[in-house]
Structure 1
């Protein structure tokens, strides 16, 4: 049987602006995809992109939602507008907020967290995967 080492499904944003940012997807369905992958025994990973109009409280709730859905690994990054046709950057997140969100995600219980303005979805994937394996071995 072959299977992925990590199943990644990027939530990307919070419920209030989800439909505007990801019109072809639904927030709850994305959480369900992660739950199903976790139920299948896979290590799961997601990503939140900040700076598109979300509040700090909404980011916290999205982290709680992801963890409750069974997400093991999380990356948190700054939104960078790819073209003028895309959603504008509504704010540049300060580096200390990424540090705070990393600590918060660790407190929530994620097995691995990478948080910073230039972190990308696969950033340090090997390190995060190892952290998830170690956490599962200790459960």
Structure 2
């Protein structure tokens, strides 16, 4: 089995008090250098389909996380006629250090956004839709009602459309999460993003325990959608911390991890 090593500050220890060490230089030198596979390289081309999707989103006055979060894969997704939509405006009330979405105080709530998004999905001919949002701590329900309204209008356009919501933590308010779960969403995603030790530096106002609790509540709920979460690596976490995080995710009843 190949060993996996994670970057770590000098003198920093793992969750179990052990300081991971890289293999000796001589051993590392024996591993043949491998080029990255061709498919991992991005070709910066602007295809007609890319321009079409970008134009539709702009014309409808919508936002995509592909654009707002500066995703490097935007040309691939737009080029294939799809996008991950971002609702509740473009200003996030949280200040997570890893995220490129604009931070600030949102100006009101766009009540017409769900209708425009539903029309956009119909125009693009999508049969599966992924929708995320900024965090709106300024709203009593965190924007949960807009998620519910969005799927309602999507299903009016196409009753068979599959919908995945990537939701914020709603400040830990189960009533807000319940609104989303009752909407009939097919996949409910909420990302834990990183290991507990790094939360203050990486996620600011978020809390790992809160996110895990939201996932557990969603997993125990009826009707139960597919439960999904995701996290990043390469932020200074250790191997042991990642293993611990995956155990926590499993205990929360998560079905899919990315």
TM-score when normalising by structure 2? 0.28
Point out the structure with max Rg over C-alpha: 2
**2:191 aligns with one of 10, 17, 20:** 10
More helix by share: 1
In the alignment, what sits opposite 2:228? 45
Q: CA deviation at 1:29?
A: 0.3
Higher normalized contact order (CA 8 Å, seq sep 6+, divided by chain length): 1
What SS does structure 1 have at the residue aligned with 2:209? Answer: helix
In the alignment, what sits opposite 1:93? none
**Where does the alignment leave 5 or more consecutive residues of structure 2 unmatched?**
1-181
In the alignment, what sits opposite 2:5? none
Q: Following TM superposition, where does structure 1 have runs of at least 4 consecutive aligned residues deviating by more than 4 angstroms?
A: none
Distance 1:52 1:35 in 2: 25
Distance 2:244 2:231 in 1: 12
**1:60 aligns with one of 243, 249, 253:** 243
**Where does the alignment leave 5 or more consecutive residues of structure 1 unmatched?**
76-139
* Paired positions, count: 75
Whether 1:36 aligns to 2:211 is no
Whether 1:70 aligns to 2:245 is no
TM-score when normalising by structure 1? 0.52
What SS does structure 1 have at the residue aligned with 2:228? Answer: strand
After superposition, give the CA deviation of every residue in 1:95-134 in whole Å (9 maximum; x if it has no partner). xxxxxxxxxxxxxxxxxxxxxxxxxxxxxxxxxxxxxxxx
Structure-to-structure mapping, 1:1-139, within 5 angstroms: 2-40=183-221, 41-75=224-258
